[in-house]
Amino acid sequence: MAKVEASKSMTFQVHDAGGQAYNVLLCVQEHTANGTLVLTPEAGTPQQYMLTRMQKGRHGKTLRCYTGAATVTLTIEEGYTPPRLHLVARVFFPVLDATYTLSKTEQERLVAWLHALRLHELS
């Protein structure tokens, strides 16, 4: 019988520039490098994105993947107080460029979680 690996998931909260809170669920299947990103506004409908060909940065601060035709890069920017999560989606040019803030504790948890994932590293 083939061994089936479970998804690894993490939840955390971010805030947009207007102060709106979002609950984030990030699920990763390491063996296929695929996953799901679910953004749920505090008062709204969840938005779900299927992620493919996931790769991570060497120090757990970057995650690059694809959703449809877009290349998506999530970057944790630690040089700010509070830390930022920068999300950019590009087709040939940026179609989404958003920055969210997260708590220092959430940032540290996310970096450690991304660093521990068994995904190919970005070159």
In this predicted structure, the answer to whether residue 4 has a pLDDT above a threshold of 80 is: no
Q: CA-CA distances (angstroms) from residue 99 to 3, 39, 77, 120?
A: 39, 14, 10, 25
Mean pLDDT, all residues of the chain: 94
Query: Can you give the pTM of this predicted structure?
Result: 0.90
What is the helix (H) or strand (E) element at residue 76, kind and residue range? strand 70-77
DSSP 45: -
Which residues lie below 8 Å from residue 2, measured CB to CB, with a gap of 6+?
A: none
Mean pLDDT of 115-119: 96
pLDDT band, very low/low/confident/very high, at 123 (cuts 50, 70, 90): confident
